[in-house]
Structure 1
């Protein structure tokens, strides 16, 4: 076998496995008793072989490790037979055995770093002394090397995963700190002073404790690898015994079997618990240990009765209970296939200590040992820290901090403010800027800046507020800090907080931390910090402060009322609106009042309510009569609202939906919008929308209202359904002689060939069906013209008509001029109607299917070698419609293939000795064939058009009708499934026959070819206007469920702000109000800090020349905003589509 091949060991291993397992053998030649030798040139793993069928077992019943073969036997005779079988196999496969390196007939052998005997398996490291005398590793790579060397023998170490957990948690930053001499000296002194006293070490530094535990674990692992137990071979005839163990943070289990009244280990299973598993009870942890040992030793234990020794009898209850839920039910299902005998040690583990082998550590000693090396594991905290409460008049310090950073570490700023309570005065405020900071680093530095401001102040109660959830929780100790840079900053903050024993940390949202946020944002903009000293700046910080609303306890009010914040003013900088959070009861009362007002303004509802309340003296007699008819179905509640409540004699389905609120006409659009257009409605169909509304609301003509609203929904009309109209077919164009009409198309976006070609042009003669193909590197008009001149014009001359789609290369002026020189007419298909060029479209599919059969290279670049040559096969195949081959219809004689040319088939040499006679017959047959083909094509076109027109349903599209246009092509990079395929609406200006119309596109943003086939259109659904409900006061304005507090399209101006130089003479508004004239543009972005997507609009103000960008949350012009977003959405949806002019 050649030396140096990477797969040589695998090939050699496979050959040995085949030989030892008896799967293959060398076949013999017929009549030759000698064995057939393998082919020396063939690969070793491809030697001709066949399965044995003699019923014999494998030679050894086991695998080998490359050239290391271990033979086991129960007796000397058995061993001799196995060795004899091995030698025969080696002789048969031409394998040689080194007698010098082999050992025969030994009770114990060393094999792959182990000692194997009839008693079991032992670990046998090559240099055990070097491993046990190894000093503590001083780098992460050296520690990983040590753990890797022990991992090979981890199955012999009873609690390897538990002891190694502390070492696996060490990081590079820990070793960097340990490398300092003062740190090593401090750790050594601490270890000598406290020893194993866990309570004493708990008051020391956490980093020093980690190294003490790591050194103890390191020493313990070295001791265990030096005294590894013997793992007995599993014997199927003996009962498996499992001993489970669990403590606060680890579990382990041992699979054992009884030999001479002593339990000896077969395998160990152990692991440390996850953070969520630390909260489990001791019995649940024992179940985890049992599941793990059953999983690891599944092949050994499956199908056998297993005895489980546990500390608690509750484990047996798990199998007897029938009402388990949650994880206990899942565990019971996992354990149900096993046959387990749960045995509780009534006297503790002392009861079975005499029966356990000495190599198994007693569980009580394990508990004592693991206390000193327990890793830093804590149960997952689920209870959020309470918000600190500050009572009125209490004196304390409050500090708030914030940090901001630019993207890609461009720099960061942080700020801190010191507040004195109960006055809430600013004592100190400072901001700083540092290059190369991340957001979290800036937040930590802001916390350290708070501690700087506290230097020299009296120590009393301290509350620290920040809007960084990560920093607050890491300093509290709720989550781990793993980033090296943040670990150092966190440790500095903890050291500084030791000087303030009475301190609390509180995470607040950004809106409540506006003072520190504005200070940090200003420092980030100017890229420099500042020390706040001016009184005016202090007043601004006090104005932005909202911490008092969270911290200071409020006295309960007898009648709570909704607080309404003033509307934010219009500024040129970054503005933020703070939405008022209303109580649920307040919102409910406001909406009830508006609905009641709207009901009282509608005549029939107001009259029906009077009738139900008994006030009929003001009603006309005819109204009283009509109200009496329907009055039994309505009720008025305590709030004065009218409800529809059908009597109990109605169907059961309607009886369950009692008390439906009667919605007046002016609020019906709000309800329809909520249940159809909003995110909660989901643009469902008529049936689903109607069912959702009728379960809770009622008005007369509800179904017709839903039907009209859904039918007129632009989003549903443009985003749902496919075309249903087919339109009549005028019949395809018919040619009367070869190359009179040529159809042209291309196969785009093919893999770039070795010659740089990526396109394949296809020409098809509509009379004969003759195909011509040409590979090209582009689709420009010049390339198309050159290819046509080379492949078509030079061979067959000019044609009368060229048929193609509306691709830009075909419609370019260059290609038009080229056809004009040749005297050819161009006939482009209608927009979005590829069926009009069906012959070329179908030939593209046929050529593509034939081409894929021959592509062989991985990158598919060899397609160009077959594309043009495949046209011979297509042109020499008989056409089903024409009855002849395209080649014959063009040339008048049939082409011969290479096989026909080399065989005496189809030869006419004897019959056609006279050229004149041969020429006459050819011409006569050719004329007959052309006549027959012309008639067949005419019949086929007529029959196809007749069958299509018989199934076409009449349509109602007429001139001046409004229609939607269907576009089914999406630009590259967009998802077709998410695209709106209907666009418009458009007005029909002209009918072109019965199959096409001309739509009006002038004055719109749609760049389309106006002539469209009927099958790509659908009528805009129109509904007749319904009678309008009479109002008591016809001048009443429309009521909205969530109407704004300010008039629409208005803006409140701050007295201290000026927008720009303005001409007061041109303004007809008040001095404190601005009116939105129009919205011109929109831009979106992402808040890098929190990931919130925001939208800003370019607003033109009435009376001002310069527009400004305004955040969406600060706009109060619902009608203008809705109209702009609707138009903007329509443009975006059309921009996704690909018109034929953009191909």
Structure 2
């Protein structure tokens, strides 16, 4: 490759003897001589590849070159001034197609327009109906004018320079994202590229800090080849981006963002309104993102699934003067869930103002419907009753926000069952002179709610009410508290804000502005482990058996009774007490060897109240991996002790719903004709594919497993490309780099394993490649069994509905498999390979960070010497 990016020496030439033509090649350099050298190399390469270039159409040694409707110069990249001038002089289109043509013309130059998606969002949502009578195009026209203004002042985009630092400015509001890529020239930030997009439906409700993370991810995807491997200085309004990039205690979407940002090196700079240093760094063509939200409200598009008209919430709902005379209809619907019967009811009450007397009060019993249709039916039946009564002006009041706002046209109705009721409602409303709406909360609509609840309880419709029932409903009525206009109170306002200093006037903050940024410095590992050990010791003291044993080990057995002291003395020889009061069991070392026969291992005594926690950690968690009764027992036995350990483990594993639902009974398909003899670790490495798998969030679709035939040690590699070359690279990375070349590689007859590429790789590593027979996969049975185990564990722990997190689970499950004791080898594969046992999280939390057990060892030696002298005596 050239330094500037053109292809240079390459051995391949066209196979067919045909000629090709090429156009639209633009290059430049710092000096004339370097440009001439590049041209000579380019023309020589054209001759080798039989590519022709028209000399008459070529231009050389130009300060500015017109290239694909752009003006390319040493200063940077300009847009075509003639085309931009034509766009800036356009009038507002009269059809939707004209708006689309305008956006299409601008889309080609969107990299020159900062916040293009922010200003153009309203134009993308224009409909044909908006150009007819009653249509509202005010927001679209403001967006059109704003884009024309930006087109007239498009900046010069600097060329991307790999030698300069990368600076990124992030912005996000309620409907769009925007990102600015910048370079620093002469102490001022100049734009290199603008990019952005409109938010998706599920992203609209994200916090602004999360939206800025989406803006950063958009830029990293768009400019991946330019930004990869570089340090990125990100300027943001929130400190959340830096917290996501460094914190180790994340959950939810923050975890996904942290995973996607993990390959990048970010330096986050938080910018506030009073940050004058950042304002001085910006070039005049770059708009500051701080405080921009208020200025953009005039071009805010309507939210999706809503009509185009944006209405003031204060004008949506009716308010009545205090002396109003007329009628108010209140309605409500109630329902029981299918588990409790699946029936519904609705009620409606007509009130006469200003006395708030009941003119009509009725209810209906419904079947086979839900709450929202019941609310609609209550409103529609009430309108029918009011029409029969003879009222022409009406105010409808209810606690169903959905029914009220869909009737007003504030939100769209997309459900067919509700759309039918909405059409009926509109037909009924057309028969009145005036219908206004008021949404109230349930506490103010207590009268209709009580009537609907009584109908739901008795399962009988009510058309007439007794005087007692009417008086009860009138007492429950609280609509008058919210429906009347607020009284105008003349309040003398004193402008005290002007007298305050400017630095004392602050804006309202949110949670992310005041939340403490988690840091590892806030947690002292010693304090955490001391607290954990203190709780374990206190739980041991709460059990009589262990409390008596502690008293005996402390030499305070005089406070115990004869039987209690006798029982404690019988067990005392097998237990030891630590300096901080924790009780340990002296277990025998399970390792083989003459030098280890007399060694003991301290196993923490687990109180009854903490048994389930240990079982959850060693069996149900990702470290445990649902490894069955025997393996779970050996895992717990290595570090913990309590009476009835095996029985408790057996009961827990047999009652585990994941184990019983995800694992099948073992099937005997025939006895093995003979195994390959292995004499040392990594002498024979077997490999197999698990394919196909759902596409994960990382883009992986296959799992490649390696396993040592001697130790059973498993290695896993999630892959998106399963070509023979990628397999060879994975084998070299996971096996050869860590353990050296394996003398023998065992695999099945997969075409990728049998290909010439992989066979040549094995020969280069001086490894023999042996494939099993197609009709007998049991010859590589250990590997096939591991494949089954891994996929069973993935089914247990998969949380995503589409199982897109399987590659993340596999990485953790390999640790669980390698640290489970093998029934045949009597050791864990991890120990056989490394010579030491990996420590679990639970053991690390319960252990002490104080290095050395000198005092415990001295105590143990002293007690053994006392016992020996007692035996001699």
TM value normalised by structure 1: 0.32
TM value normalised by structure 2: 0.40
Larger of the two Rg values belongs to structure:
1
